[in-house]
Chain A
């Protein structure tokens, strides 16, 4: 059981909700990408708050750095050739969500400050032991779920081979 500071939790969760909405309703795709990077980083922070440092690091590296680079490259490759897409945004929906978010954020911050705990502990009192988590990872991957792990490895190999095949077929056409 962990004990999280309410201010940290409400701040992080409010920012996650805000940047997710920004991702969905941003006009330019590059703004949407940047907001989604922040969402993924904040999700990593949430993992850290929950006591899973390894998942937080993996989330930050893969979704915070690797995936945005791939998305950015694909945006670069497709920029300038696109047609004008009609915006789906509805200003009323955005304003409603924004107002609800603002109310939620202000209410949660005030409520947390009023009920401030005695000690300001950011990540929690009883973090999971890092060694136990690491051994659980090893046990899970190599003992309990070794079949799933091998199947995923096989699937990734097939995917790589499939990409090469598709690319060769496309270039031959």
Chain B
């Protein structure tokens, strides 16, 4: 019997990444860790896009293009979020996310 890696294996890994990123963004107390968790969620989404682009796209590869867009947007969003965090940090002087409830 030969094991074969199917589309469901990759989708499962993408789902796991998304769920763990969601868990981290909910339970983490550190703002930077929350942002990293959001990036992990985005990575899981990108993995699903690439999986669908490979297995279901045929010759279109639209999933790859969407992944390209998401990677760029995710990086920019991360930079903006860190910038806002840094501005707020100068006032709050804390990384604890509970201090940022008035954001």
Contact = CB atoms under 8 A, between A and B. Distances in A.
Contacts, number: 188
B16 A39 contact: no
A136 B20 contact: no
Contact of B68 (A17, A29, A58, A132): A58
Interface residues of B, number: 62
Interface centre among B16, B33, B35, B86 (most CB of A within 10 A): B33
Interface of A: 1-6, 9, 13, 16-17, 20-21, 23-24, 29, 32-33, 36, 39-40, 43, 46-47, 50-52, 54-55, 58-59, 62-63, 66-67, 70-71, 74-75, 77-78, 81-83, 85-86, 88, 111-112, 115, 117, 128, 132-133, 136-137, 140-141, 144-145, 148-149, 152, 155-156, 159, 163, 166, 170
Closest 6 CB pairs of A and B: A140-B65, A136-B61, A24-B24, A4-B5, A6-B3, A115-B3
